[in-house]
Structure 1
Amino acid sequence: MTSTTLDYQNDSISLRVVEAIAAATGTDPHELDPLYHAVDPEALDQLFQSHSSADVRVEFGYHGSLVEVRSDGTVAIDGTVHVME
């Protein structure tokens, strides 16, 4: 499993998802299908920008992988061995 943690002040969660998938699969981010084919990026960003103490978790398939975004800002990509730093 690959995971990375979101910096709420500097990162959009949708951009971090694309970067995590690209790194995990060795694919240039520009070669990936648009994220909106899997999930509404604006809605995803808004959900996690307005995070509260609630435990929120969103899962969806993207580029052949299972993406999990958690309320603590963690983005997890199943099926990969690459760890984003």
Structure 2
Amino acid sequence: MCPSSPTSSNNALSTAVIEAVAKEMDGDPTELPEQLYDVIDSDALDSLFTGGNSMGGTVTFAYCGYTVTATADGDVTLEE
């Protein structure tokens, strides 16, 4: 499992996912083999844990050969 840093308020969760995968693949975020929006609604991902309505939790999905888990705290972990 490869954890990333928690996201800041200026860094959307979808961006954190893309950056974590690119880092793990030792590549550029703009050159990933798959677009995030092809596997998950990135706007929904970003809004899922924002605002005062967040009750915590996680979301897990497959992306670029990894199982990605994103948490309400902004943590992103990858498993091959």
Interval containing the TM-score (normalised by the shorter chain): 0.7 to 0.9
What pairs with 1:26-65 in structure 2 (closer than 5 Å)? 26-32=26-32, 33-50=34-51, 52=53, 54-65=55-66
Within 1, Cα distance between the matches of 2:52 and 2:74?
A: 9
Q: Deviations over 1:19-61 (max 9, x none)?
A: 0000011121111121011100000001122364623110000
Within 2, Cα distance between the matches of 1:36 and 1:11?
A: 17
Percent sequence identity over matched residues?
36
Q: Which consecutive residues of structure 2, in runs of 5 or more, have no partner in the other structure?
A: none
Within 2, Cα distance between the matches of 1:10 and 1:55?
A: 19
Using the size of structure 1 for normalisation, the TM-score is 0.82
Aligned residues of 2:48 and 2:54 also touching (Cα < 8 A): no
What pairs with 1:1-85 in structure 2 (closer than 5 Å)? 1-4=1-4, 5-7=6-8, 9-32=9-32, 33-50=34-51, 52=53, 54-79=55-80
The 1:6/1:50 distance shift into structure 2, 3 A limit, reads: same
Q: Which runs of 4+ in 1 moved over 6 A?
A: none
Q: Which consecutive residues of structure 1, in runs of 5 or more, have no partner in the other structure?
A: 80-85
Give the structure 2 partner of residue 83 of structure 1: none
Q: Which amino acid aligns with 2:78?
A: I
Give the aligned length.
78
